[in-house]
Amino acid sequence: MDQFLTGLAPSNLIGFVTGLFLGGVVIGLWVTSRLRPLAQRAEATADELRKQVDQERTVTFSIRQELAAVQQARVAAETRIEDAARQLVEQRALIDHTRHELIGSFQALSGEALKQNNEAFLKLAAVSFESLHVKADGDLAQRQQAIDGLVRPLQDSLHRYNEELRLLEQSRQSAYGGLDQHLRSLADSQHRLQQETGNLVKALRAPAIRGQWGELTLKRVAELAGMVDHCDFVEQLSVTGDEGRLRPDMVVQLPGGRQIIVDAKTVLSAYLDAHEAQNEAQQADALRRHAAQVKSRMDELSLKAYWTQFDRTPEFVVLFLPGEQFLGAALDQNPRLIEEGFANGIVLATPSTLIALLRAVAYGWRQERMTAHAEEAGRLGKELYERMAVLAGHMNDVGQSLGKSVSSYNRAIGSLETRILPAARRFKELGVSSDREIPVLEPTEVVPRKTLPLEME
């Protein structure tokens, strides 16, 4: 290499050095071109990450995926920055090494004759290399700033997302705590409900309690239907018949004096056994017993023959069951219960069907009251008409009396004006006068209006 440089002419040497300088410039441009795609890719990656963050902000799982992606991108960007910085340091070291080699070669090659030229050239080369070094440092700093500008928003976003995740986790823990408390409260309520249900079942197994519940339900149904207590229906009315003292639960009074007998039967024992059964066989057996108990109550009520103890009563009795489910369970086991009941003068009813029946009765009572009111209005109208006729006669008599009074007044005025007042006015001619003048009396022409008969008006 030294022999090669020694054999070169000064002009060739300058060209060679210039070539080396241009090579350094090319190397710098190459380094710049290598760094620009890195920055562009980092910027594109950052844009893509921002878009993904905006789209997946509200979903916790997506936020975590996005955080992982952003962290990976940041690590990759930092890795690329470190690689670019390392390459730049290597290029700088290569340039410094080349410069030192060139300086050493130029110093060894040049003579005293070329000392000043070499010094000027070395200064020029040093200035050129220094400017290249400064430019490379500036480009690196600018790219570092640009990359920091891209990465810093990502870091801020990561910090915000971590904070949001922390708040979300706190909210989740709080919500889980409230849910756990609510579940415990619900479990306690369920336990109390089971206890109360058990107490209710025990109470309903007592015949007296069952009877009171059935009668209370019957009364409530009657009230819902608009039948006022002890007005449109009568409770616990007793009669004495061949079977002894009979007491239906309710007697519904119909318009026209007719009656419908209602008796409540709370058939519950076998039905409750069916709900407490441990298997389907026990449940089926209990439901069959329930249907048989309903049939037995129907037969007992039919034997009482309430329609023979009350006047104007149809030949049937309403057997009221205080729940739709009681009749439905019995009909599932014996679908002919309704037909058999009709054959024996028993009509099965539940709250819904009895409400419909009582509403029809209430409508009949309303029509009855409207008819009674219309009759009363007619009677009052007739009485008012008669009284108005009497009053009109009295007014006619008053008018006739007033007419006679007016006629008498006019005759008196005429007599006064023709016979008395002319003589009195002559006193003024004789010198007997007073401050007051005798007025001229005018007869009354208005006569009372005659009252026409009511038939003519």
Alpha-carbon gap, residue 260 to 310, rounded angstroms: 9
For residues 305 and 175, state if they share a domain.
no
Whether 353 maps to a domain, the answer reads yes
Residue 314 domain-assigned (yes or no): yes
Q: Which of 201, 229, 255 is the last residue of a domain?
A: 201
For residues 260 and 359, membership in a common domain is answered with yes
Domain residue limits at 160 = 155-201
Going by their DSSP bridges, the two strands 239-241 and 233-235 should be labelled as unpaired
How far is it, in rounded angstroms, from Cα 456 to Cα 446? 24
Do residues 306 and 352 both lie within one domain?
A: yes
Encode pLDDT of 300-348 as tens digits.
988 888 888 777 778 889 999 988 888 999 999 999 999 999 999 999 9
Question: What is the 3-state secondary structure of 51-94?
Answer: HHHHHCCCCHHHHHHHHHHHHHHHHHHHHHHHHHHHHHHHHHHH
User: Are 168 and 315 in a shared domain?
Assistant: no
Nearest C-alpha neighbor of 160 from the set 80, 290, 228, 67: 67
Residues 197 and 270 in one domain: no
Same domain for 318 and 376 = yes
Same domain, 364 and 225: yes
Structure tokens, 160: 């915000």
Cβ contact 31:136 at 8 Å: yes
Q: Which two tokens stand for residue 232?
A: 């449109």
Whether residues 195 and 289 fall in one domain = no
Tokens, residue 379: 């009677």
User: Tokens for 139?
Assistant: 């480009």
78, part of any domain:
no
* The total number of structural domains that make up the chain: 2
330 and 213 in a common domain: yes
Q: Which amino acid is at 369?
A: R
Asked if residue 379 and residue 251 are part of one domain, the reply reads yes
Domain limit, last residue, from 383, 401, 429: 383
In a domain, 174, yes or no: yes
Tell me whether residue 432 is in a domain: no
> CA angle, 101 as apex, 98 and 107 as ends, to 5°?
140
Residue 278 lies in a domain: yes
- Both 232 and 299 in one domain: the answer is yes
Task: Kindly state whether residue 110 falls inside one of the protein's structural domains.
Answer: no
Reported pTM: 0.45
Task: Out of 383, 401, 418, pick the residue that ends a domain.
Answer: 383
Helix (H) or strand (E) holding 317: strand 317-320
Tens digit of each residue's pLDDT, the chain (457 residues) = 555 445 545 555 566 556 665 665 555 555 556 656 665 666 666 666 666 656 655 666 666 666 677 677 777 777 777 777 777 777 677 777 766 766 666 566 555 545 555 566 566 656 665 665 666 566 666 666 666 666 677 667 777 767 777 787 777 777 667 667 767 777 777 667 666 656 555 656 666 677 778 888 888 888 888 776 544 455 545 555 555 556 788 888 888 778 888 888 888 888 888 888 889 899 899 999 999 999 999 999 888 888 887 777 788 899 999 888 889 999 999 999 999 999 999 999 999 999 888 888 888 888 888 888 888 888 888 888 888 888 888 888 888 888 888 888 888 888 887 877 777 777 777 776 666 777 777 777 766 666 666 554 4
Spatial CA neighbour of 103 closest among 222, 20, 206, 193: 20
Determine, yes or no, domain membership for 312. yes
CATH number of the domain to which 369 belongs: 3.40.1350
Spell out a b/e string for 426-436, using b for 16 or more CB atoms within 10 Å of the CB, else e: eeeeeeeeeee
Based on the fold, state whether residues 240 and 188 are members of the same structural domain.
Answer: no
DSSP-derived 3-state class of residue 455? coil
